[in-house]
């Protein structure tokens, strides 16, 4: 299994292949529908984003309540296709990776290829297990959204699978 560290470089992304399992370490950001909507609105208004997306990864996740003594609550992936309509402006702004579950539309797959990005699958139904790979969680934007705020997570050996690689190949096209 290949180990990756954020931020991702273009050369690292280009080497990834669909179906490949990786262990990701470093900083990632969580964001769901409402946070994506706000980010894209800020981009369209030429406003400064609350986070620097260049080389970064967004995890489609709304973490559950954190229990005492833990860094984070259960943090499983949400359905990625709900973010498809927001993805292109974020890739243009420098986003290099996305983590979620499920397939992506062809427009997003084409954009992943165009912007040399990658889409990873997180193992669905394993939110409690995935939480053990998170050592730190902090709100960095849109705190009013509660669990849908943008959180910065520090992860170590976060298990993922490449679902769409930088060549535009999708694991779902093999079905």
- List residues with catalytic annotation: 36
Q: How many CB atoms lie within 10 A of CB 25?
A: 17
CA-based angle 133:137:139, to the nearest 5?
Answer: 150
Residues 6+ apart with CB under 8 A from 95: 53, 56, 57, 58, 115, 117
Joined together, the tokens standing for residue 119 give: 């889409």
């Amino acid at each position: 299994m290949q180990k990756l560290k954020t931020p991702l470089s273009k050369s690292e992304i280009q080497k990834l292949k669909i179906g490949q399992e990786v262990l990701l370490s470093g900083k990632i950001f969580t964001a769901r529908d409402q946070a994506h909507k706000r980010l894209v609105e800020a981009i369209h208004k030429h406003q400064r984003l609350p986070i620097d997306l260049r080389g970064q990864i967004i995890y489609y996740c709304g973490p559950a309540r954190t229990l005492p003594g833990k860094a984070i609550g259960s943090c499983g992936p949400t359905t990625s296709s709900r973010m498809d309509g927001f993805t292109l402006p974020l890739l243009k702004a420098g986003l290099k990776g996305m983590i979620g579950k499920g397939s992506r539309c062809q427009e997003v797959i084409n954009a992943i290829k165009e912007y040399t990005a990658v889409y990873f699958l997180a193992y669905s139904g394993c939110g409690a297990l995935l939480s053990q790979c998170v050592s730190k969680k902090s709100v960095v934007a849109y705190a009013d959204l509660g669990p849908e705020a943008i959180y910065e997570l520090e992860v170590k050996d976060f298990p993922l699978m490449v679902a769409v690689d930088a060549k535009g190949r999708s694991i779902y096209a093999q079905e």
